[in-house]
Amino acid sequence: MAYEHPNTTGDDPLASMFTETFADDPIPGYQRLQAECPVVRSPNAGMFGEFGVTLTRYEDVRWALKHPEVFSSKDVVQIGNDFPLIPLSVDPPEHAHYRRFFDPQFSPRKMAELEPEMRKLTNEVIDSFIDRGECNFHEEYATPLPSTFFLALMGLPQADLPQFLRWRDDTIRPDASTMEEAQVIRERAGQAITAYFEQAIADRRANPDGRLLSMVVHGEVNGRPFTHAELLGACHLLLLGGLDTVTATLDCMITYLARHPERRRALCDDFSLVPNAVEELLRHQTPVMMVPRKVVQDVEIGGVQCKAGDSATLIIGAANVDPAEFDAADDVVLERDHNRHFAFGGGPHRCLGSHLARLELRVALEEFHKRIPEYDLAPGAEIHFSPGIRQAHVLPLVFPPGGTA
């Protein structure tokens, strides 16, 4: 079924999607959306424009991701950034110029070179809590591991991490009671991020160090240097991407494995399953629930007329559990092949750092389970996730002190 307006029963499945209750266990909600309203065009439902379009089915989301000339990403992300987020906020053909520079910086070969350093760092993080027999996984593992490594990759001081994390949270999940208050917090954080990178860019111009930020500052796009605005937009995006999504993904994965010990033990018995498990848990536990777009050409999707100027929300979490695409879509199948999920998006705007994220997730799961194969959620713990990007507020684990062989 597709319809032009939300139902009038007071039980709007679209509205519930932006609640913590939905984020805690999203698959039933995704299934309801696909059954009741797979394609919706409704008033006052968009971040911009009078109407908002929502897509939930795999094929519809795939089509939208592959056709940025219809579902545009241009300037749709406004999270306190003063400049367009490069390359996310630019569509083809200009988008390709930026990807030609950035893609080699995140190639599988280049990421593989980082693995020994990443495994060393991972075990140092585990050392900090393993003897206690308990940890707040979110604060003590999922946050410092990707954040510390990403700052090293960028060439940014580790001492600045607490400030970066505050900016991250103020941008992505601001502590506010209204949309207006949230926007003020985001804008304040965006201004602080801009000021920080103004200085960092100036430092790298004078003192290049071979790290990623320095390479961007001295890089070229389409035969010319990056403009100052492009540098600031790229740095803002890299910072948020590097500090948030892998953390959220680890929270989702470990919560699932703690609640399903038979799956966890399968991984511990055969670590060759880990790469498949990473893909399957990305699909099943999709951390980034949705991505925004803007309709720039009239188009019909699922029998609904979408108009140029409409905002659009692609529910990639729902697409990833669409039974029309995936057998046993609502279950985790560790041996699943041909897992064409959208956890990293798709089409031209597929996640720039997907190869880095896969490496971080694989190493994080392998090293943690090698040293702590048996763990549980702390007794009485209630795990709650933020909507939009599913990050746990706290994630207390208990395990044998020192781990087990």
**Residues annotated as part of the active site:** 173, 244-245, 351-353
49's torsion region: left (phi>0), alpha (psi -120 to 50) or beta?
Answer: left
Nearest residue to 172 via CA among 75, 56, 81: 81
Q: Beta partners for 72?
A: 294
Q: 202: which 2 tokens?
A: 């100036």
Contact 378, 140 (CB under 8 A): no
Nearest residue to 68 via CA among 105, 102, 99, 41: 99
Contact 142, 251 (CB under 8 A): yes
**Phi/psi at 217 (nearest 5 deg)?**
-60, -35
Q: What is the 3-state secondary structure (H, E, C) of the chain?
A: CEECCCCCCCCCHHHHCCCHHHHHCHHHHHHHHHHHCCEEEEECCCCCCCEEEEECCHHHHHHHHHCCCCEECCCCCCCCCCCCCCCCCCCCCHHHHHHHHHHHHCCHHHHHCCHHHHHHHHHHHHHCCHHHCEEEHHHHHHCHHHHHHHHHHHCCCHHHHHHHHHHHHHHHCCCCCCHHHHHHHHHHHHHHHHHHHHHHHHHHHHCCCCCHHHHHHCCEECCEECCHHHHHHHHHHHHHHHHHHHHHHHHHHHHHHHHCHHHHHHHHHCHHHHHHHHHHHHHHCCCECCEEEEECCCEEECCEEECCCCEEEECHHHHCCCCCCCCCCCCCCCCCCCCCCCCCCCHHHCCCCHHHHHHHHHHHHHHHHHHCCCCEECCCCCCCECCCECCECCCEEECCCCCCC
